[in-house]
Amino acid sequence: MLPPQLSTDLTSLNQDADRAALVVDMTIDDSGTLVASDVYRALVRNKAQLAYNAIAAWLDGSGPAPAALSRLPEIAAQVRLQDAIAARLRDRREDEGALEFARSELKPVVEGEGVKELHTETTNRAKTIIENFMVAANGVAARFLTERGFATIRRVVKTPERWPRIVDLASQHGGSLPSAPDARALQQFLKARREAEPDTFQDLSLAIIKLLGRGELRRRERGGNRASTSRSRLARIPTPRRRIGASPTS
């Protein structure tokens, strides 16, 4: 665990406080294609602390605007823009065969010094904004490092050895997949099942995730010696601080 001075102060995007950061600057066109990018140092100032669930409810029209958005209309406009850009990025990723699963996690509810209960957290529209930006930022950072000759550690997603079992599972749910691994076909199957079987989609997602297997971390040396040329390879950078409403100030 990081010391509190780091985790809750110096590396936290506290409201109205300047923080030194590395910014991944991306220009996205109307089709969701990255047309320009850069990585640079900047001071970042978070103008409002916003909660995922409250923002998701507001975006979906099922809840009121958080007080900070009423106070700062420019932040509301920025969140709407981020939502639109994230949707373009998601659609582009789906076209390229990115797999979208139902995901949830248990979050402890702490009361006093103990855990009162476990609450199931699921993804929502606000979280999806950050997820799509993080995936795009990972790609920019990987290319930035590679172009400058730095060694990197990449997560390689191998071709699933248990693909026939995934094909069989798809057929049990009314789908059809080709005999050879096909990410786009699997994504289309998952998308159809999410719409047709929302109540059981999480169980289906977990089953397919297990059959896909784990990725491997591989080092790419300086000079470009590659561990893999698979398009499903992802380069990892430290998780960006996730805060809607933060913006570079210099």
- Report whether pLDDT(79) > 80: yes
Average of pLDDT values for 41-70?
Answer: 93
Average of pLDDT values for 95-102?
Answer: 78
- Report whether pLDDT(157) > 90: no
Q: Is 75 exposed, middle or buried (0-12, 13-18, 19+ CB in 10 A)?
A: buried
Q: What is the pTM of this model?
A: 0.73
10: phi then psi, degrees, rounded to nearest 5: -65, -35
Confidence band for 214, pLDDT divided at 50, 70 and 90: confident
